[in-house]
Homo-oligomer: A and B are copies of this chain.
């Protein structure tokens, strides 16, 4: 089945007639490494499913520093919810980390489907709820755990793709620390591991 349709079916079931108008609106697009899908300060009225490759979502601070807060891989849906919903310029950028294939569609199309088909409205609700649970968990982790604990939580989570395929500086940003600090945390944990092994 089509990867976007599969994604939607995690929440609701679409008939062929319901799927058709969305399928008709999809536009394939390739991103080169470091190319933006969303650019901070500009309108971002499109969403996209990642077919292959990987992207990062990051904020650029007034001083020019970047802070990465999310990663997207195969079969992830991405875009600036905030820009789509409010019609305001996006407060962050989304950029390819490697050559990436996308299927894009305008949020306006989805909004139209919300109005036409109750099943899309339900999908929209459940998608937002699902994303909300994820963001809440992320927020709780930042407030509850130390940087070292957050790194260990990432190590033991199922987000192995992040650890395998993402430069460490971006992971550091995702954890809310500097690259230097993450490097020290890793050194500390390795030392602890070695001590535990020799002690056992």
In the complex formed, the residue of B with least CB distance to A174 is: B143
This protein's copies in its complex: 2
Residue numbers in B under 8 Å from A125 (CB-CB): 114, 121, 124-125, 128
> Quick check: which of A18-26, A129-137, A153-161, A162-170 contacts chain B, the rest being far away?
A129-137
Residue numbers in B under 8 Å from A92 (CB-CB): 140
Cα-based distance from A93 to B132 in the complex (angstroms): 18
Give min CB distance, A126 to chain B, whole Å: 8
Residue numbers in B under 8 Å from A85 (CB-CB): 129, 133
Residue numbers in B under 8 Å from A61 (CB-CB): 144
Q: Is A30 an interface residue (CB 8 A)?
A: no
Q: Is A81 an interface residue (CB 8 A)?
A: yes
A129 in contact with B69 given A91-B140, A142-B139, A143-B176 (CB within 8 Å): no
Residues 80-127 (chain A) with a chain B CB within 8 angstroms: 81-82, 85-86, 91-92, 114, 118, 121-122, 124-125
Give min CB distance, A146 to chain B, whole Å: 11
A–B pairs, 17, beta carbons within 8 Å: A59-B144, A67-B143, A67-B144, A81-B136, A82-B136, A85-B129, A114-B125, A118-B118, A121-B121, A121-B122, A121-B125, A128-B128, A128-B132, A135-B135, A142-B143, A143-B173, A143-B176
